[in-house]
Amino acid sequence: MTDGGAEGEQQSLHGEYKVPGGKLVVVDLGIEGGRVARCRLAGDFFLEPDDALEAIDRAVVGLPVESSAADIAAAVRAALPTDAVLLGFSPEAVATTVRRAIGRAADWRDFQWELLHPAAVRPALHLALDQVLLEEVGAGRRRPTLRIWEWDEPAVVIGSFQSLKNEVDPENAAKYGVDVVRRITGGGAMFMEAGSVVTYSLYAPGDLVRGMSFAESYAYLDDWVLQALRSLGIDATYQGLNDIGSPLGKIGGAAQKRLGGGAVLHHVTMSYDMDGDKMVQVLRIGREKMSDKGTVSAAKRVDPLRAQTGLSRAAIIERMEETFVRLTGASRGDLTEGELAQAERLVQTKFATREWLERVP
């Protein structure tokens, strides 16, 4: 969230960043001659000793507006007293907040969000809808959107850059009637059956994650669902670059795609009630990938939401939707006839073709 204005010859900027799982960090900056002329840091974080706050402010003053987040974080870290204790935030969080202020980043409630939860469609159409809705948001023809996926047939969804033959056992896929499709985002293969996963896609303006690294944007865009899961008693945390986990195991993973115009697709699949035995027959999960997780069975690598909550899949999704509406003010909506028609055309010309599926053999 920013506030552009003038103070003498200084440009006044305001930035905010809610650290995923942490505290709110706020900066008010004065910019003059291409450098930070004034910095005031605030927030609901904890910091000791008291004079460390002024040290952070002084570290930011004088930095060029082109400074990277890494440069800003390094300056803050170097300026901190040796006995400084930061709780709920970090030098990197300060840097992200400064970059968001300078880059005029926005917050969730700066946009009018729409929440979609349409009926089940076939896997290839889901992937086509991801591309269509991302492009529509990027072009300004659709409001920023959260879409909950539903489907009634099994599928393997492989990442944009994965090798088809290395990821999928075609004989077992055919044996179990599993459709194999390729998505537009990177990352790993996902095994899905009706009622076994919770999947959603966010189509967000680039301004929402302006000033963030890719890693920071994953954590930021996942934070709302972590809040929903924690409200159900799951100790959910963001892990690594793109995983959501708990002390009992991995829950799910995320992937992203960004358009040249700045719109961001961020979609997540979480296991609700995974058939691990069938999954390892359909997916070619190598021994190396298994061993680096320290497990003997792929079925143990994914911890279902049902086991941790005892709730129905519908109840979990309902809590997710309630949390998203509360945090963003989203209103309910639906897919348009035009969007569905565009997606159906993309299924025929791209997502259901052998050329797309086998583009990485």
CATH, residue 43: 3.30.390.50
- Decide if pLDDT at 302 tops 80: no
Are 153 and 73 found together in one domain? no
Q: What pTM did the predictor assign?
A: 0.86
Q: Which SS3 state, helix, strand or coil, does residue 179 take?
A: strand
Identify the domain boundary among 74, 102, 130: 102
Same-domain check for residues 97 and 189: no
SS (H, E, C) 255-289: EEEECCCCCEEEEEEEECCCCHHHHHHHECCCHHH
The confidence score (pLDDT) of residue 213 equals 83
Q: What is the pLDDT of residues 1-14, one digit of tens each?
A: 444 444 457 899 99
Last residue of some domain: 102, 119, 144?
A: 102
pLDDT, tens digit (0-9, with 9 covering 90-100), for 214-236: 888 999 999 999 999 999 999 99
Q: Percentage of the chain with pLDDT > 70?
A: 93
Residues 139 and 207 in one domain: yes
- Give the range of the structural domain holding residue 225, as residue numbers without chain letter: 108-357
Each residue's pLDDT tens digit, 164-186: 999 999 999 999 999 999 999 99
My answer on whether 71 and 131 are in the same domain is no
Report the CATH number that the domain containing residue 256 is assigned in CATH. 3.30.930.10
End position of a domain, from candidates 54, 82, 102:
102
The predicted-structure confidence for 31-88, as pLDDT tens digits, reads as follows 999 999 999 999 999 999 999 999 999 999 999 999 988 899 999 999 999 999 999 9
pLDDT in tens, 239-266: 888 999 999 888 999 999 998 778 999 9
